[in-house]
Amino acid sequence: MESDEFTSGWESIHVGFEGSALSIDGINPWVHVGRWQRAAPESVVVPHPSYRQQRHRASVYEVEAHGKTIRFAATELSNGVWGFYVPSDANA
């Protein structure tokens, strides 16, 4: 993919092994992995956090827990290593 072929409006927030500690608005998605619900758009194309020339297709999910809903995109960047992204306006 060309460097300009990615979905704007998403930022990287975490790279780590499957199941590692992670917090999105106080919720660890791995704790609720059985409740990940696909969301629209179904996927986005995001740059690898360390190798910006690489592009990855990440699925978009929502999880409801503790009275709130988080929205994120996740993709396996390499064997057992996952990248998580949130909408850019999520931290505003």
Reported pTM: 0.89
Reported as a single tens digit per residue, the pLDDT across 26-82 is 999 999 999 999 999 999 999 999 998 999 999 999 999 999 999 999 999 999 999
Q: What's the angle, vertex CA 9, arms to CA 41 and CA 43, rounded to 5?
A: 25
Amino acid type, 80: G
What is the pLDDT confidence band of residue 91, given thresholds at 50, 70 and 90? very low
Does 89 or 3 have the greater pLDDT score?
Answer: 89
The per-residue pLDDT for 5 is: 87
The per-residue pLDDT for 33 is: 94
What is the sign of the dihedral through the CA atoms of 39, 41, 43 and 46? negative
Give me the residue spans of the domains in the chain.
10-87
Amino acid type, 70: I
